[in-house]
Structure 1
Amino acid sequence: MALAAPPLLFGSRDATTIAAWCAILGVGLICAPVKRLRKNHLLLLAGLFFVVLCFSFVLHEQLSDRPWIAPFNPIWDKASEALGKPLAPSVSVVRGEPFFALGLPLANFLALALGLIVGSDSDRARRGVKVMAWAGAGYALSGIFGLLLDPLHILWRDKTAYIGSLTSTFINRNTAAAYFGSCSVVWLVLLMAAVRSRLPRGKVLWKRVPHNLLAHAGKDVLIRFAMMFVCLSAMFMTNSRGGVLISLAVLIVAFLAYFRRDLPGGPGIVGVFIGCVAGGLVLMQVLGGNIGRRLDLQGLSDEGRLSVYRSTLKIIADNPWFGTGLGTFAQVFPAYRSDDISMWGVWNVAHNTHLEFASEMGIPLTIVAGLAWTVTFVVLAVAVRGRRRHMVVPLSAFGVSLIAFLHSSIDFPLQLAGYSIVVFALIGLGLSQGVLRREERSRPAAGGMAEGERGTLVSNRSSISINSN
C-alpha cells in the first residue's frame, strides 16, 4: 500500500492525510513479520534507530521549555524587547512548529523501517517493486487522459497552477516528474530482466539481440516496454527540466549497471555511453519539445534560485547547531532574503531539501543524515554488483533513491509525502535485499520459481533452440 497509494490524494500534502499515513504505516510496522530478519537486517534497523534517536534529541531541544544543551534562539530576546514584556524563549523560532511538522519525517521513518522488514522476504520484495511500477503506470495513464480531457482539474479540485503541464494527482509538476521518472527506472529494470531472460546464457551478442527478441519475445517484454513508454511520456509531459534531465541520466546509469558485464571494454564503453546519451536526446526532441524550449528560454535554473541558496547558507551560519526549528523555513527566510531576489513570489521552500534541512535542524544532524544516505548508496551499489538475477530490487531502489536525492538538491520532491513515502519504502526493500546472503536471495518463493530462475530456464531454452538451428 505504501508503494502505491501515497500519490492518490493530491500527493498527500495535507496534514490530515500525512497523519493517516503515519497511523497506517505504524499499524503495518506492528503487524510486519520478523521471522526472516537476519543479523544484517538488525544492523540496518539499529542504524535507522540511531538516526531516529539523533533526530528526536534535536526535536526535544527545539520543543522543550528547558532544553538540555541548546541555547534559546536570540530572536525571543529581541521580540521581548520590542514588545516591552517578557516572552518565554524557545530554541525554535516558531514555538511548537516542530511538533506540527513532525508528520512527514515520521512517515518516512516508518516507511523505511517497514520496507526493511518486509523486504527480508525476496518474493515480497519483488512483488513490492512490481506494485510500485504498476501503480505508477496507472497514475501516468490517469494524468495523460486528465490533461487531454480535463486540463483544468486535479481530481475534483480546480487546477490553479501548471496549466498545460501534466501533474496527475500531484499539485507540483516537478514532483510529478520525479515520480514518473522513478517509475520509468523501475520499469526499465523490469524490462531489462525480461529481455535478458530471453537471451542465451553467457556474454550478450548484441548483433543477435534483435533476432532473439523477435523470435522469443514474450508478452511480459511487450507489456513492460509499453508501461515504461507510458511513464516516460507522462514524465516528459510534466515539462519539468530538472526532473526530466535527472531521470534520463539515471536511466542511462541503470542500463549501464545492469549490462556492465556484457558491454565492450576500453573505447567501446565510451561509444555505448555516447549512444545512450544520443538516445536520451532523441527522446527529448520527440517527447520533450516543451522542455527544450524552456531550456532555451530559461536555461537550467530559475532566476534567483542561487541567491536563495546563498541566503539559506546565511541561516545555517547563524544557527549551526540546532537550526531554527523543523518546519520554520518559510517564517525565517524573509529576514534573510537577498536584495537580488525579485520581490515577486513567496519562497516557502529553499528548493534544496538538504540545505533547508540543515537550516532547520542544524549541521550535526545533517551530517548524520548525510552519512545515512552514504551508507544507503554504498549498500545498494554493492548489491548491484552482485549476480544479475538478484539485481531487480536493489537496482530499482538505487535508481529511485538517486533520482530523489539529486532532484532534492535543486527542488523539493522529498518534502511531499506522496513521493517520499514511496521512495523510502522502496529503499527499505532494496537495502533489505542488498544485505541478504546469496543463498537466501536464491531461495524460491512458496508459489514456485523465483523470477531469476524462470529467466535462467528461458535462457537455457533459447540456447538449445539456437544451437539446434
Structure 2
Amino acid sequence: MRGLSFWIIVFSPLPFASVRPVWSHLYAVLVAVGLLAYVFDRWRAGRAMPGVPWPLGIAGILMALVALWGYLQAVPGLFPAWQHPIWAETASVLGDPSLKGYLSLTPERTLTVAIKYLSYIGFGLLVVWHARRQRNVELLLKIFVAAQAGYALYGLSVYFSGLETILWFDKTAYRGVLTSTFVNRNSYATYAGLGVLASLALVLRYLRQTLVAEKSHRTKLREFIETLTSRGWLPPMVMLMCFVAVLLTGSRMGLTAMLVASSLLLAAWTVRLQRGQARTLGSMMLGVLLGFLLFNFVLSGALTTERFSRLFEDGDGRFLVYPLMLDAISERPWTGYGLGSFESAFRLFRDGSVTAFFDRGHNDYLEMIMDVGWPAALMVFLAVALLFLFAWYLSRRRTDYEYALLSVAATTQIAIHSSVDFSMQMPAVVFGYLCIALLGLAHWSHGDRSSVQVAEMDRAPQHAALS
C-alpha cells in the first residue's frame, strides 16, 4: 500500500507538472497513506522505526517550521500588529470593523502551499526510510529514469510532429519549443536536466565497477561496450534523449545549470577514481561521453544559442522585476506577504517599467524572502545547504559514491536555475529532485563504508520492502 505514494514520481509530471491545487491535495493524501502504511508495517513486524541522519532530520524540521509559519500566516486575526495594512483598509471600505485580517494577502493560497510543503517533507521521509535497503535505492532510481524516458520521448514526438499541444490541450504559451507535459519550458528543462544527471550517475556507477575490477584493460573496455549495447543501453539512451530535450526547450539557464551540474558530477567522479591506469581509462571514456553530448549540442542547440544571443541584445524583463521585489522585501522583511502570495503582493509595487505579466518572481530566492520574510527564508536556504554539504561529505567517505554525488549535482542544478526561474514551484520537479537527492543519503556511518554495507546492518523482513 505505501508503495502507491511512489507513483507520484511517475505521474506527477503528467497533469501540467501538477501545478493545480487539486493535485497537491491528492499527493498530500497519498503521502499520508504511505507514511501510515509504513508505520503500520514496522509495528506489525515488531521493528522499531528507522532513524534519519541528523543533517536530514534538521533539514526536515526547518522545512516543517516554514510550513507551520505558512499556516500561521493564514490564521485570521493572529498577530494584529503584524497584519498587512490592506486588511484594515478593506474593513474600513466595507464598513465592517469586525473583519479579521491575516498576515498573508492570500490566505487560501498560503494554506495550499503549506500543504505542499508538508507533502514534500513526508515524501522525502518515505524516500529516506525506503532507501535504507540497497535494492529500493536502485528500484526508485530506475523508476525515475524510466519516467524521464517516457516524458522525453513524448516531448520529442510532439515537437518533431509539429503539434502545438500538451496532451489533448492546445498550447497557450511557448509554442514552437519542447515542453513535454509541462506548460513552462524552463520548468521542463529543469526536470529533464535531473534526468540527465540520474542517467549519468547510473552509467558512471557501472563504469567505476568495471574499472576497479581485476581484469585487463582490453577486457574491461570490451565488457563495458558489450553491456552498453545489450542490457545496459537504457541509461545512456535516456541521458541523450533528456539532453536533446533540454536543448529543444530553448531554456538558457536550464541548459547552463544542467551543464554545470553534469560537469561537477563528472569531475568529482573522475577525481575519486584510483590513480594510474584506471583514472586514465576513465578519463578516456568520459571524453567519449562528452563527445556524444557535444555532437547532440551541434545538432540541436541552435535554438538555445539564438536565445543566448538575444539576451545580450534585448535584455530580459525579469531583471526589471528584481529591484521591485527588493523594495517589497524591505517593507515587510520579517513576516513577508504570505506563502504563494507573490502575484498579489507584486501588484502593490509594480510600476510602468514592467509591461509583462508576472505571476511569479522568476527568482525563487527573492520570492521566498518576499513570501515568508527573512527568518523563515533563511531556514529554507539552510535546509538545502545542509542537504548539499551532507551529500558532499558522504561522497568523500564512501566507496560507492555515485548516488551521493548525484545528490550534490542535482542540488547544484536546482540552486543555479532557481536564481532566474521558478522551477521549484512545480510539484513534479520537487518530487523528482527529492527522489534522486535523498536516495544516496539514507545511511550515515562515521567509518568509510559503502551504503550497501550500512544497509546490511539494518535488514528488514521481506514483506517490509518497497511494495
**TM-score by shorter chain over 0.5:** yes
Alignment-derived partner of residue 322 in structure 1 = 335
2:79 is the counterpart of 1:73: no
1:170 offset after TM fit, Å?
1.0
Q: CA deviation at 1:167?
A: 0.9
Q: TM-score, normalised by structure 1?
A: 0.83
Superposition map of 1:355-374 within 5 A:
355-374=366-385
Q: Which residue of 2 aligns with 1:458?
A: none
Can you give the 5+ residue segments of structure 2 that lack an aligned partner in the other structure?
A: 1-6, 462-467
Q: Which residue number in structure 2 is paired with residue 409 of structure 1?
A: 419
Are the counterparts in 2 of residues 285 and 292 from structure 1 also a CA contact under 8 Å?
no
Amino acid at match of 2:434: F
Shift of 1:201: 3.7
Letter in 1 for 2:83: F
Q: How far apart, in 2, do the equivalents of 1:53 and 1:387 lie?
A: 30
Asked if the contact 2:155–2:180 (Cα under 8 Å) also holds between the matched residues in 1, the reply is: yes
Q: Match for residue 238 of structure 1?
A: 249
Q: CA separation of 1:123/1:446 partners in 2, compared to 1, >3 Å: closer, same or farther?
A: farther
CA contact (8 A) 2:149 2:242 kept: yes
Question: Partner of 2:200: helix, strand, or coil?
Answer: helix
**Other-structure match for 2:464:** none
Q: What's 1:114 paired with? A: 126
Shift of residue 317, structure 1, vs aligned partner = 1.0
What amino acid is the match of 2:384? W
Q: CA separation in 1, counterparts of 2:228 and 2:53?
A: 41
Distance in 2 between residues matched to 1:381 and 1:253, nearest whole Å: 11
Correspondence for 2:174 among 162, 184, 188: 162
Would you say the 8 A contact 1:58–1:322 is kept in 2? Answer: no
Aligned position for 2:358: 347
Distance in 2 separating the partners of 1:393 and 1:384? 8
Q: How far is the alpha carbon of 1:311 from its aligned partner?
A: 1.1
Aligned residue in 2 for 1:125: 137
Q: Does 1:332 align with 2:345?
A: yes
Q: Distance in 2 between matches of 1:236 and 1:420?
A: 21
**Does residue 31 of structure 1 match 2:37?**
yes
Alignment CA distance shift 1:83-1:116 (3 Å) = same
How well do the aligned residues superpose, as a CA RMSD in angstroms? 3.4
Could you say if the C-alpha distance between residues 24 and 225 of structure 1 is closer, same or farther in structure 2, counting changes exceeding 3 Å?
same
Alignment-mate amino acid for residue 354 of structure 1: Y
**Equivalent residue for 1:141?**
153
The 1:435–1:112 alpha-carbon spacing in structure 2 relative to 1, beyond 3 Å, is: farther
Q: What CA deviation, in whole Å up to 9, does each residue of 1:274-332 have, x standing for no partner?
A: 97999866643332111111111223995221221111111111111111111211011
Q: Which moved more, 1:136-145 or 1:212-221?
A: 212-221
- 1:2 match: secondary structure: helix
Q: Which residue of 1 aligns with 2:114?
A: 102
Question: Contact conserved, 1:37 with 1:120, CA < 8 A, in 2?
Answer: no
The whole-number CA distance in structure 1 between the counterparts of 2:238 and 2:312 is: 31
Give the structure 1 partner of residue 302 of structure 2.
Answer: 289
Q: Provide the rounded CA distance (Å) in 1 between the counterparts of 2:53 and 2:207.
A: 35
Q: Distance in 2 between matches of 1:123 and 1:36?
A: 21
Contact 1:352–1:412 (CA<8 Å) still a contact in 2? yes
- Structure 1 residues 442-453: aligned runs within 5 Å: 442=453
| Paired letter, 1:47 | I
Q: How does 1:458-469 map to 2 (within 5 A)?
A: none
CA distances 1:412-432 after superposition (whole Å, capped 9, x unpaired): 111011211221233332331
CA contact (8 A) 2:55 2:387 kept: no
Q: How far, CA to CA, are the matches of 2:172 and 2:101 in structure 1?
A: 39
Cα deviation 1:424-449 (Å, max 9, x = unaligned): 233332331456972662357999xx
Q: Give me the identity figure in percent.
A: 24
Q: Is the 8 A contact 1:111 1:428 kept in 2?
A: no
1:452 corresponds in structure 2 to none
Match of 2:236 in 1: 225
Given that residues 125 and 433 in structure 1 are in contact (C-alpha distance below 8 angstroms), is that contact kept between their aligned partners in structure 2? no
Q: In structure 2, how many angstroms separate the alpha carbons of the residues matched to 1:407 and 1:144?
A: 22
Given that residues 337 and 372 in structure 2 are in contact (C-alpha distance below 8 angstroms), is that contact kept between their aligned partners in structure 1?
Answer: yes
Deviates more, 1:330-339 or 1:82-91: 82-91
Unpaired segments of 5 or more residues in structure 1?
448-469
Instruction: Give the 3 Å change call, closer, same or farther, for CA 96–137 of structure 1 in structure 2.
Output: closer
Count of residue pairs the alignment pairs up:
439
Change (3 A) 1:122 1:37: farther
| Other-structure match for 2:396 | 385
Matched with 2:3 is: none
* Residue 394 (str. 1) matches residue 404 (str. 2): yes
CA distance in 1, matches of 2:440, 2:375: 27
Kindly tell me: are residues 47 and 262 of structure 1, through their superposed partners in 2, closer, same or farther at Cα, counting changes over 3 Å?
closer
Deviating more after overlay: 130-139 vs 47-56:
47-56
State the Cα deviation string for residues 217-257 of structure 1 (Å, max 9, x = none): 56244332222111111121111111111101111111111
Provide the TM-score with structure 2 as the length reference. 0.83
- 1:199 equivalent to 2:205? Answer no
Q: Distance in 2 between matches of 1:359 and 1:366?
A: 9
- 1:139-160 CA-to-partner distances (Å, cap 9, x unmatched) read 1111111222352211111112
1:187 has 2:199 as partner: yes
Deviation for aligned residue 1:178: 0.7
Q: Could you tell me which amino acid in structure 1 is paired with residue 439 of structure 2? A: L
Change (3 A) 1:133 1:74: same
Please state if 1:427 is matched with 2:437. yes
* Aligned residue identity for 2:9: L
Moved more, 178-187 or 397-406: 397-406
How far apart are the structure 2 equivalents of 1:139 and 1:429? 21
User: Contact between 1:70 and 1:322, CA under 8 Å: does it hold in 2?
Assistant: no
